[in-house]
Every structure is written in C-alpha cells, then in structure tokens.
C-alpha cells in the first residue's frame, strides 16, 4: 500500500511540474533588448556618421545572420512651447533586439567577427574615430515577459 501512495504522489507531482512548464515560456528563447543611452558630444553630424558606418552596419549584418531581430537609433526630440522647453537634442538611445539570450550573450564575439569581415569603412565616407563623438551614459538589458495572455511587458535583466 505505501508503494501505491508513493507512486500516486509522484504521478501528481509530475502532472503539476509538466503543467507549470507548459504555462511558463522558456526564458532562454525570449527576445532580449538592450538600450544604450548616449550623450552626443559633437553635434556636427560626425557622431551620426560614425554610428551609421559602424554601429548600424554591424547590426545590419547580425540581423542578416539572424542574431539581431531589430535595431534602432533614437534621438530625443526638443519640444518648445511658450514658456517651456523640454528634451535634450544631444541625447540618443541605441536599441537592439536580440533573438534570444544566447544571441545576446554571444554578441561581442559575433560583432568582432563581423567587423573583421566587413570593409574597414563605407566607400566614399571619411573614416572617423569614436573618441570625442559620444559618451555612453547608461546601458540596460531587458527580457520580454508576457504579463497576460494578450499583453507584453519587459523585465530588467541588467544595468551597466
């Protein structure tokens, strides 16, 4: 009789474990987002040219290879109304959506490999060095987590 109780208990436990796993999505396969907040120190177009020629080209190739799902360079807008002004025209966010946690974890190795194989610069573009163009203010890493059946929210994974 004790063997039958133990077998029943194990069977119930197995049912709960399987049901719980089926309802919680695998974190390792969820998209990972990075937001890099930068402050542009030279607003003469050189920072944007550098980002076009380096940051965006590398991510475009990573997207072609399937590690990156999307990427965006977002500038803060300055809004002026009578009596107030908000926003910083020198503030930007570099947003990258990685396919999953493995793609995010292997990003530096992948980006280095892409830089090796891409031409050193875009033809017709004057080579520019990053120093003095912009400073990274903050970097945050988010994981997409479903809040409800129809909703989406993000979970902060790391702050650098």
> Under 8 Å CB-to-CB from 26, ≥6 apart: which residues?
none
Residue 7 lies in a domain: no
Residue 9 within any structural domain of the chain = no
Q: Is the pLDDT of residue 101 over 60?
A: yes
Segments in 26-158 forming alpha helices (H): 46-50, 57-65, 101-105, 107-117
Burial class (CB in 10 A: 0-12, 13-18, 19+), 156: exposed
Q: Which two tokens stand for residue 92?
A: 């930007």
On whether residue 73 sits in a domain, the answer given is: yes
Query: For position 56, which CATH number holds?
Result: 3.30.70
122 has pLDDT over 50: yes
- Enclosing domain of residue 73: 39-131
Q: How many Å apart are CA 68 and CA 13, to the nearest integer?
A: 39
Greater pLDDT, 144 or 39: 39
Instruction: Answer yes or no: is 140 within a domain.
Output: no
Flag the least confident range among 38-42, 59-63, 148-152: 148-152
Q: Is residue 31 part of a domain?
A: no
The whole-model pTM stands at: 0.70
Q: Is 64's pLDDT higher than 90?
A: yes
Q: What's residue 15's pLDDT?
A: 43
- Tell me whether residue 99 is in a domain: yes
The whole-number pLDDT of residue 144 equals 76
Vertex 112 angle, CA 109 and 117, to 5°: 125
Is 109 part of any domain? yes
Edge-to-edge strands, sheet with 153-159: 68-75, 91-98, 32-40, 134-145, 153-159
Phi-psi category of residue 123: left, alpha or beta, with phi > 0 → left and psi -120 to 50 → alpha:
beta
Residue 146 has pLDDT above 50, yes or no: yes
- Residue that the structure tokens 């990156």 belong to: 68
- Residue 83's φ and ψ, nearest 5 degrees, are 90, -5
Give the number of other CB atoms < 10 A from CB of residue 147.
9
> Has residue 4 got a pLDDT over 80?
no
For 57-69, what is the mean pLDDT?
A: 96
Q: Which pLDDT tens digit goes with each residue over 13-57?
A: 434 444 444 444 577 788 999 999 999 887 667 888 888 888 999
Residue with more model confidence, 155 or 10? 155
């Amino acid at each position: 009789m004790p063997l039958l109780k133990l077998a029943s208990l194990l069977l119930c436990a197995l049912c709960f474990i399987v049901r719980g796993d089926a309802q919680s999505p695998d974190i390792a396969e969820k998209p990972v987002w990075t937001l890099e907040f930068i402050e542009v120190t030279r607003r003469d177009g050189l920072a944007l040219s550098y980002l076009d020629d380096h940051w965006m080209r590398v991510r475009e190739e990573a997207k072609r290879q399937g590690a990156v799902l999307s990427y965006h360079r977002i500038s803060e807008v300055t809004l002026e109304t009578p009596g107030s002004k908000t926003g910083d025209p020198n503030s930007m966010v570099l947003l990258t959506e990685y396919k999953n946690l493995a793609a995010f974890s292997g990003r530096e190795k992948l980006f280095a490999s892409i830089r090796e194989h891409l031409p050193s610069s875009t033809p017709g573009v004057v080579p520019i060095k990053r120093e003095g163009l912009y400073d990274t203010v903050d970097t945050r890493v988010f994981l997409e987590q479903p809040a409800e059946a129809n909703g989406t929210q993000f979970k902060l994974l790391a702050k650098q």
